[in-house]
A and B are shown apart, each in its own frame.
Chain A
Amino acid sequence: GAGVSQSPSNKVTEKGKDVELRCDPISGHTALYWYRQSLGQGLEFLIYFQGNSAPDKSGLPSDRFSAERTGGSVSTLTIQRTQQEDSAVYLCASSFSRGETQYFGPGTRLLVL
């Protein structure tokens, strides 16, 4: 597609359930980023992929969070045993290569009840 797409756009889940968030980057972009944005806050870096590898996992808030990227394209962010504090908008971005302009998807709004 022309831009970064994310699914689902909204997700409501119960505390303790696992959720998977998907990101489709712009075709040809080698770098892919996940961020979290809580209500009224700035962006919190979670993880970055260069191709299929994630050299920087320092932003993942706990071991309940994991991410993978396959085929140098689609990425999935998984949150296990969700907590209410995980409620936020999860944004994905991609860039042609690391350090270049990032183009963002519309985000997934996650609400944990």
Chain B
Amino acid sequence: AQKITQTQPGMFVQEKEAVTLDCTYDTSDQSYGLFWYKQPSSGEMIFLIYQGSYDEQNATEGRYSLNFQKARKSANLVISASQLGDSAMYFCAMGPANYGQNFVFGPGTRLSVLP
């Protein structure tokens, strides 16, 4: 079964500094996708970044980058130059490769950006 682990229930970072949110995953599939979502206090889920298992380059989207280490099965999210608006819950998720498997989310990390 696929599983996502996020070991940091809460993180603090000073405004303008970089922060890394950890995500490890467990799967026996060779082809899969890894996703990060942000959920602010308003409750909406916002897609941030995607990494395919066969992508050789780490994904980047503006201030977001994904540190993908396939052998270690980790897909950490790096946020550079943190802003107050980055304070939110962050969920790591894995997209299914095989028919019938669920799209699995981790438990989330609550990030608080301090002024």
Count A-B pairs with CB separation below 8 Å: 52
Report whether over half of chain B's contact residues are helix, strand or loop; otherwise say mixed: loop
Distance (Å) between the CB of B8 and the closest chain A CB?
13
**A61-B69 Cα distance, complex, nearest whole Å:** 35
Instruction: Choose among B44, B50, B96, B105 the residue that contacts A106 (Cβ–Cβ < 8 A).
Output: B44
**A58-B96 Cα distance, complex, nearest whole Å:** 15
- CB contacts (< 8 Å) of A49 on chain B: these are none
Interface residues on A, range: 20 to 34
Instruction: Choose among A41, A56, A89, A100 the residue that contacts B102 (Cβ–Cβ < 8 A).
Output: A56
Interface residues of B (CB under 8 A from A): 32-33, 35, 37, 43-47, 50, 91, 95-97, 99-108
Give a binary string over A26-53; 1 marks a CB under 8 Å from any B CB, 0 the rest.
0000000101000001110100100000
Instruction: Choose among A55, A89, A102 the residue that contacts B103 (Cβ–Cβ < 8 A).
Output: A102
Q: A35, A55, A101: which has the most chain B beta carbons within 10 Å?
A: A101
**A41-B43 Cα distance, complex, nearest whole Å:** 12
Distance (Å) between the CB of B22 and the closest chain A CB?
15
